[in-house]
């Protein structure tokens, strides 16, 4: 599938306009922690504590905030089990999987090129 910038402009209306929905969603999923949390969830369901350990350097506050935003966007599903001690699991929704289908090739390319890029 060939995608042109013109198509993006047409479909999204105004990608370059302040406050347009596209900018808002981009800010969520392409934020420093948003990408890493989504990536961590790509290989399956994870518990809160697992995410905290997996996404190195994230604070509890930012993990909570990031997860709430992604959940509100319908990209991440939160499942709480009424047990003691509490157990909460996070996973990608259908929409989240669609997103990551598009984001993985990008991240893969960056991961491959990053060494060369920062070494300059």
Which residues make up the interface to DNA (CB under 7 A)? 31-33, 47-49, 57-62, 64, 68, 78, 80, 85-88
86 binds, among a second copy, DNA, none (CB under 5 to 8 A by kind): DNA
Binding stretches for a second copy (CB under 8 A)? 1, 3-8, 11-12, 15-18, 20-27, 29-32, 35-36, 39-40, 42-43, 54-57, 72-75, 95, 98-99, 102-120
In angstroms, what is the minimal distance from the CB of 23 to DNA?
11
Rounded CA separation 73/69 (Å): 6
CA distance 82 to 47: 14
Q: Where are the alpha helices (DSSP H) in 1-120?
A: 5-12, 21-29, 32-42, 48-54, 60-72, 94-119
Instruction: Find the shortest distance in angstroms from Cβ 79 to a second copy.
Output: 19
Overall size of the chain counted in residues: 120
Choose the one of DNA, a second copy, none that binds residue 87, judging by a C-beta under 5 to 8 angstroms depending on kind. DNA
Least Å distance between CB 32 and DNA? Answer: 4
Residue 40: count other Cβ atoms within 10 Å of its Cβ: 17
Q: From the list DNA, a second copy, none, which binds 80 (C-beta under 5 to 8 Å, kind-based)?
A: DNA
With beta carbons less than 8 A apart as the criterion, state whether 112 and 118 touch. no
């Amino acid at each position: 599938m060939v995608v042109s910038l013109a198509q993006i402009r047409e479909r999204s209306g105004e990608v370059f306009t302040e406050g347009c929905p596209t900018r808002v969603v981009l800010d969520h999923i392409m934020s420093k922690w948003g990408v890493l949390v989504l990536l961590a969830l790509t290989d399956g369901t994870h518990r809160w504590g697992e995410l905290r350990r997996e996404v190195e350097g994230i604070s509890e506050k930012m993990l909570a905030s990031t997860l709430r935003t992604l959940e509100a966007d319908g990209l991440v599903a939160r499942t709480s089990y009424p047990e003691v001690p509490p157990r909460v699991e996070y996973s990608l929704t259908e929409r989240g999987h669609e997103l990551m289908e598009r984001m993985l090739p990008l991240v893969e390319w960056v991961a491959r090129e990053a060494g060369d890029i920062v070494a300059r």
